[in-house]
């Protein structure tokens, strides 16, 4: 027989949140500084290369290793590249998308309401804007150019940033983000953050959509790096050792080309680099929000169960989280643990408890 729990709980067997930040696939387009209207989709092409076997325990160490790969470069006659995408912010973290317990669902709604009242969603919105302004979403491409801008449009409000004003390892406050503006001012920035926060937290199911464009100067023939496809073994093309993300585009002449793209998931991972509350001494930079604080680049897990700092460990203590938001009168009084829990709910996912935990919570 399941034990009854007198206090509030966030745990139940079936619990899911819909994603609150929806991102489109990013598209790469070649540009010309002397003719802005002259734009050409960056095409993913194929080439054969003759490398050398260099992996550990190679079958033919040091010998020729011919292979076919996909690649993408700035076409001749162009001197820049643009990566564009849109982000839609939705109020889907205010309540569970699916929950098998009315009591647990109400506890989640109570947490979100307290978080909203204290200004927590504006903190998340400002962190998202920081990761857009610093061009983290361009990933490896960010280091391919010495001149770039990020333009963000929301309705009639347009901001243009210089990404080189930012350190990817240190969160910029609003004053520092304002100092990086090439177009727009501090009031425009504050309005955009407010509207994104409203998109994440309003009760009228109103969404807010921003359009983002990264422009960088590059040399003709310079390589760019779209997302790389992870191909399962049964679907692998044995002729290609590297496959890039791309979307089909039918040209005016009837020819179909494949335009280089950046996965929405990869852009999302960049925007989710807002976990500044992990408290790890081994990694002093923001990491992407996820329940266990996993860092893909280093395979570190900063919030493993032993740390007692994982999403599941924190949400097991419902009353302290509720007290924290309901006693906070402004955003700077909200503890980092609450920001982290809410950031995971904004991210979305399936958060049901194990059978043992669910039974313990009635």
How do residues 61-85 score in pLDDT, each as one tens digit? 777 767 788 999 999 999 999 999 9
Cα gap 17→3, rounded to integer Å: 26
In a domain, 57, yes or no: no
CB atoms within 10 A of CB 269: 19
Share of the chain above pLDDT 70, in %: 93
**Containing structural domain, residue 229:** 15-49+67-360
Predicted model pTM:
0.92
Query: Are 205 and 172 a contacting pair, CB within 8 Å?
Result: no
In a domain, 22, yes or no: yes
Q: Which residues pair with 300 in a beta bridge?
A: 295
In a domain, 7, yes or no: no
In a domain, 160, yes or no: yes
What would the mean pLDDT of 165-172 be, rounded to a whole number? 97
Cα gap 307→278, rounded to integer Å: 10
Joined tokens for residue 141: 């491409």
Average confidence score pLDDT of the chain: 92
Query: Are 95 and 113 a contacting pair, CB within 8 Å?
Result: no
Joined tokens for residue 137: 């979403």
Strands 240-242, 64-71: pairing is parallel
Q: How many domains, in total, are found in the chain? A: 1
| pLDDT on residue 18 | 98
Cα gap 249→284, rounded to integer Å: 42
What would the mean pLDDT of 319-334 be, rounded to a whole number? 96
In a domain, 3, yes or no: no
In a domain, 253, yes or no: yes
| pLDDT on residue 305 | 92
Cα gap 173→129, rounded to integer Å: 10
Of 147 and 297, more confident: 147
| pLDDT on residue 359 | 54
| pLDDT on residue 356 | 55
Band (360; pLDDT cuts 50, 70, 90):
low
| pLDDT on residue 49 | 72
Greatest C-alpha distance within the chain:
75
In a domain, 2, yes or no: no
Displacement of CA 44 from its chain's centroid (Å) = 24
């Amino acid at each position: 027989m399941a034990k009854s729990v007198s206090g509030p709980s966030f745990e139940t067997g079936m619990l899911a949140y819909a994603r609150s930040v929806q991102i489109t696939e990013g598209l790469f387009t070649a540009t010309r500084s002397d003719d802005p209207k002259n734009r050409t989709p960056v095409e993913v092409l194929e080439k054969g290369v003759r490398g050398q076997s260099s992996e550990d325990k190679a079958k033919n160490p040091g010998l020729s290793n011919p292979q076919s790969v996909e690649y993408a470069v700035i076409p001749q006659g162009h001197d820049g590249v643009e990566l564009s995408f849109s982000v839609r912010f939705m109020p889907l973290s205010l309540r569970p998308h699916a929950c098998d317990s009315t009591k647990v669902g109400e506890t989640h709604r109570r947490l979100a309401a307290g978080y909203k009242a204290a200004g927590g969603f504006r903190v998340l919105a400002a962190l998202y804007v920081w990761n857009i302004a610093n061009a983290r979403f361009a990933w490896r491409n960010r280091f391919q150019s010495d001149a770039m801008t990020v333009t963000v449009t929301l309705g009639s409000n347009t901001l243009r940033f210089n990404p080189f004003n930012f350190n990817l390892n240190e969160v910029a406050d609003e004053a520092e983000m304002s100092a990086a503006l090439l177009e727009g001012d501090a009031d425009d920035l504050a309005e955009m953050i407010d509207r994104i926060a409203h998109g994440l937290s309003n009760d009228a199911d109103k969404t807010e959509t921003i359009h983002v464009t990264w422009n960088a100067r590059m040399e003709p023939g310079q390589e760019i790096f779209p997302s790389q496809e992870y191909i399962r073994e049964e679907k692998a093309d044995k002729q290609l050792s590297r496959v890039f993300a791309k979307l089909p585009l039918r040209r005016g002449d009837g020819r179909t080309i494949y335009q280089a793209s950046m996965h929405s998931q990869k852009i999302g991972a960049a925007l989710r680099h807002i976990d500044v509350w992990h408290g790890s001494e081994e990694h002093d930079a923001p990491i992407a929000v996820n329940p266990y604080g996993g860092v893909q680049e280093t395979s570190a897990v900063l919030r493993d169960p032993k740390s007692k700092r994982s999403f599941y460990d924190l949400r097991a203590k419902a009353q302290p989280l509720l007290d924290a938001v309901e006693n906070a009168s402004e955003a700077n009084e909200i503890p980092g643990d609450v920001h982290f829990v809410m950031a995971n709910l904004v991210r979305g996912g399936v958060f049901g408890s194990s059978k043992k935990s669910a039974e313990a919570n009635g």
